[in-house]
Amino acid sequence: MSNSSSLSIGLLYHNATEMINWLCETFGFEKKLIVPGQDNLIVHAHLTLGKASIMISSAENYASPTFCKSPKEVGGIGTAELIVYVEEVDKHYANAKSHGATIVVDIEDKPYGGRGYCVKDPEGHFWVFSSYNPWA
């Protein structure tokens, strides 16, 4: 087994171009790679936030639609928590609120350590941002 493993999450969005910009402005992700397709669709995008990484595709041209669905396609329910460690969680929270993010759980101290909050993005993915670092 390799100790240098990493994980990237793949997310489907119906307005991927707009959501890429929203995720960068609201959560601080940076664009690493954007592969546009026809009709303003995104074939593939790679965004990073520190050592965290997400891959994004337009839901409309996803290659395996029987395997994955967007929250919009399943009644607006997120199917996973996307948990992201951030050092300055209070600053991150203030930025998310200033960009109109839908806060689901307000920022609070957690019983297991650290502080964090939960938010839904405009297309229904459920995000948790926390100062708790499980690798520390």
Domain holding 114: CATH number? 3.10.180.10
- Asked, for residue 3, whether it belongs to a domain, the answer is no
- Asked, for residue 38, whether it belongs to a domain, the answer is yes
Range(s) of the domain holding residue 122: 9-130
Whether pTM exceeds 0.85: yes
| Number of domains comprising the chain | 1
Pick the residue with more confidence: 73 or 15?
15
- Asked, for residue 85, whether it belongs to a domain, the answer is yes
Q: In the prediction, which pLDDT does 1 show?
A: 56
| pLDDT tens track for 39-52 | 989 999 999 999 89
Mean pLDDT of the chain: 91
- Asked, for residue 32, whether it belongs to a domain, the answer is yes
Quote the CA–CA distance of 59 and 73 in Å, as a whole number.
9
Residues 6+ apart with CB under 8 A from 77: 71, 124
Tokens for 100, please give them.
């109109």
- Asked, for residue 2, whether it belongs to a domain, the answer is no
Q: In the prediction, which pLDDT does 125 show?
A: 95
- Asked, for residue 4, whether it belongs to a domain, the answer is no
- Asked, for residue 1, whether it belongs to a domain, the answer is no
Quote the CA–CA distance of 96 and 90 in Å, as a whole number.
10
At residue 30 the predicted structure's pLDDT band, cuts being 50, 70 and 90, is: very high
- Asked, for residue 136, whether it belongs to a domain, the answer is no
Pick the residue with more confidence: 28 or 77?
28
Q: In the prediction, which pLDDT does 105 show?
A: 96
At residue 64 the predicted structure's pLDDT band, cuts being 50, 70 and 90, is: confident
Smallest Cα–Cα separation from 90: which of 111, 108, 112?
108
